[in-house]
Amino acid sequence: MAREMRQTAGLGMTSLRTRSRMVERLRAKGIRDERVLAAIGAVPRHLFVEEALASRAYEDIALPIGFGQTISQPYVVARMLELLLVNREPKNVLEVGTGCGYQAAVLASLFPQVHSIERIKALLERARANLLGLRLANLRLAHGDGYAGLEKAAPFHSIVVAAAAPRVPDTLLQQLAPGGRMVLPLKANGGAQRLVLFERNGRGFLESELDPVRFVPMEVGKA
């Protein structure tokens, strides 16, 4: 709470207005799902970055959060969540890569049940501290290897991965419920990354390659 008070004080009373401007920029860039836009607008992004970066929290850019990780660009967060939700009602979701907790907070504004897994224990504890004041009763955090998913809570209606894998994690595909969707960045041979959407149907998985993106690499194991 002290962190929340300190960062809010540094921004005066402008954060809500600034968030609204950010939402309008996302709408102008093509985000159409009003549920996603409302969730992005509801979460105070400045609470999830270091105080020195708080003044840049509502720019449409990724920012460093320590441990070689970043808080994702708001447009990319919105784009990934819109892909999960188009023509669907939100159910349960798994986030792979909690990071600072920002995207988990946005997910908790959209989905009735959210599980989020992070491999770096110290970063997970930071996320817990960042999220504490928001009192999100539908969010569960776990320390673990993202490649292994979260079998105890599977199957998931939606899975979103916040790091670029060199291959599709088969375990995550298997934890998708029938009719489920997973969106993740995948790294191609040349090093370029693209968002890929997987949809599970009665015959297997439908794969759609989408936007170019840039994420930190998805690592194996716990740290």
- Residues 6 or more apart whose CB falls under 8 angstroms from that of 33 comprise 81, 82, 85, 86
Q: How far is CA 41 from CA 32, 54, 116, 185, 194, in A?
A: 14, 16, 21, 24, 26
Pairing of the two strands 156-161 and 193-201: unpaired
d(CA 73, CA 140) in angstroms, rounded, equals 23
Spot the catalytic one: 15, 20, 55, 72.
72
Is 72 catalytic? The answer is yes
What's the full length of the chain, in residues?
A: 223
d(CA 156, CA 67) in angstroms, rounded, equals 28
In three-state secondary structure terms, 69 is strand
- Give per-residue burial for 169-204: e unless 16+ CB within 10 Å, then b: beebbebbeeebbbbbbbbeeeeebebbbbbbeeee
Lookup: tokens for 113: 């049940």
d(CA 207, CA 183) in angstroms, rounded, equals 10
Tell me the catalytic residues.
Answer: 72
